[in-house]
Structures are given as C-alpha cells and as structure tokens.
C-alpha cells in the first residue's frame, strides 16, 4: 500500500478549521469540498491520459485528454457524499458508483446497506472517497466490493486517517491489490469508541447533523 500524507500549508490551514468544534455544518461542507479538490490534484497524478489533436487559434497541437473508460468515483455514504462535489469538480466526466456502509458503534464492524456499483469495473481507475480512515473496516469492505468487480488498483482519498486503519489496509492487501491512500493528515490514534484522536468527531454528523 502506498500512503501519501499531504504536506501543504493550505491543506493544514483548512483542515484545522474543519477540526475546530465551532465550525458549523455549512462551513464544514464547504471546506470538505475544497480539501478534496486539493487532495484530488495529487491523487490523480497517475490518471490515464491519451494524446488529443486540437487547433489553437494559432496552430495545430497535440494536447492531452483523459482516456476511456472514464475513471470511477465511489463515495462511501453517508459522509463520503460530502466529498463528491469537490471530486467531481476535478473529474467532471467521472462515473459515480455508490456504497452505503455503516459502522456498528459497538463492534466497530462495517455493514453494507446500499451497493450501486457498475457490475464490470475491470481496467477502471477507481477513487474511493471517505473522510475518515479509522479502523479501516469500512474502507476494506469497499475495496473488497471493488476487487470482486475486477478492479486491480484503488485510490482512497481520506481527510483524516488513524495509524490503526492504515495498518489494517496495508496488511490486508499486501500482495493482493494495489491500494493507494491519500490523506490530509495521519493522526495519533483511535480512542476506545473508535474515533480518531484528535480527529474531527463524527464527519457525517458534522456535515449533515446527528441522526
């Protein structure tokens, strides 16, 4: 597994405002979108492209365009939905699949309640978006669904990650699949309730309110 931890003052600044408990849901959603767009810049560095012939007003030239098939973006509901607009600003032609996964707050195990993925994902570049990489259980379940559909490499974009979750993904997919994680921060640890410390609390609740 490849881990990329963003090292940019603008990302650090925006993430600090996001973490602050006084930041309201509207601002939280706006910052999430901005952070995803910044992380997507690096996370798409290896996106597949082909040459494209065009004419500028001055002369013909060979430019670049994203290759077919289109990349796929998969937000993990509910909180991953808050990252979708930022991602689609960077990749407006991407196809979008949805995975609804919820974590049992007692056992911290992930359960799937929705799965709307294209059935054949062979040769597709897939970007999973989920703000919090905590135990890694949810991301692992998402990656397993994708591998079942023929995906061979997955890029996950997370805002905040815990060392426990990173280790889980690293160990589980070693020698099995190419997994790359881009995160704005690698925090200290998980607490006894499975929250990332210092983290930012429950990302879904902070975006959309407590359910």
Find the binder of ligand URA among 71, 75, 86, 199 (CB under 6 A).
199
Residues 45-104, interacting with ligand URA (CB under 6 A): 79
The answer to the question of whether 44 is labelled as a binding residue is no
Contact 190, 160 (CB under 8 A): no
Which uninterrupted H or E stretch holds 186?
Answer: strand 178-186
Query: Alpha-carbon distance 101 to 136, whole Å?
Result: 12
Find the binder of ligand URA among 4, 112, 202, 208 (CB under 6 A).
202
Active site (annotated) includes residue 205: yes
The answer to the question of whether 120 is labelled as a binding residue is no
The answer to the question of whether 30 is labelled as a binding residue is no
Contact 73, 198 (CB under 8 A): no
Active site (annotated) includes residue 22: no
Closest CB to ligand URA among 71 and 194?
Answer: 194
Active site (annotated) includes residue 85: no
* Token couple for 29: 């959603």
Active site (annotated) includes residue 206: no
Provide the residue count of the chain.
211
Closest CB to ligand URA among 23 and 152?
Answer: 23
31 near ligand URA (CB under 6 A): no
* Token couple for 156: 């996950």
Find the binder of ligand URA among 132, 139, 143, 179 (CB under 6 A).
132
Select from 16-24, 67-75, 139-147, 199-207 the region that touches ligand URA (CB under 6 A): 199-207
Query: Alpha-carbon distance 169 to 135, whole Å?
Result: 9
Contacts 24+ apart (CB under 8 A), 26-30: 28/82, 28/206, 28/207, 29/82, 29/207
The answer to the question of whether 35 is labelled as a binding residue is no
Q: Which residues, 6+ apart, have CB-to-CB distance to 110 below 8 Å?
A: 101, 102, 103, 104, 137, 138, 140, 141
The answer to the question of whether 22 is labelled as a binding residue is no
Question: What is the C-alpha R_g of the chain?
Answer: 17
Annotated binding site: 78, 103, 130-138, 196, 201-203
Annotated binding site for 5-phospho-alpha-D-ribose 1-diphosphate: 78, 103, 130-138, 202
Q: Kindly list the residues in this chain that would bind ligand URA in the complex (CB under 6 A).
A: 79, 132, 134, 194-196, 199, 202-204
Catalytic residue annotation? 103, 107, 202, 205
Annotated binding site for uracil: 196, 201-203
């Amino acid at each position: 597994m490849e881990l990329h931890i963003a090292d940019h003052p603008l990302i650090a600044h925006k993430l600090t405002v996001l973490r602050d408990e006084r930041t309201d849901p509207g601002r939280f959603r706006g910052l999430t979108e901005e952070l995803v767009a910044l992380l997507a810049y690096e996370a798409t560095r290896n996106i597949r492209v082909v040459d494209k012939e065009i004419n500028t007003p001055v002369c013909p030239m060979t430019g670049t365009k994203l290759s077919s098939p289109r990349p796929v973006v998969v937000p993990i509901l509910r909180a991953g939905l808050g990252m979708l607009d930022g991602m689609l600003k960077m990749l407006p032609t991407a196809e979008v699949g949805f995975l609804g996964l919820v974590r049992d707050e007692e056992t911290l195990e992930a359960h799937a309640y929705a799965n709307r993925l294209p059935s054949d994902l062979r040769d597709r570049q897939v970007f999973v978006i989920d703000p919090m990489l905590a135990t890694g259980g949810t991301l692992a379940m998402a990656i397993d669904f994708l591998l079942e559909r023929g995906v061979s490499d997955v890029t996950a974009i997370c805002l905040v990650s815990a060392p426990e979750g990173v280790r889980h993904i690293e160990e589980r997919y070693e020698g099995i699949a190419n997994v790359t994680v881009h995160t704005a921060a690698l925090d200290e640890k998980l607490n006894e309730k499975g929250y990332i410390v210092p983290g930012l609390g429950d990302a879904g609740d902070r975006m959309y309110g407590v359910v």
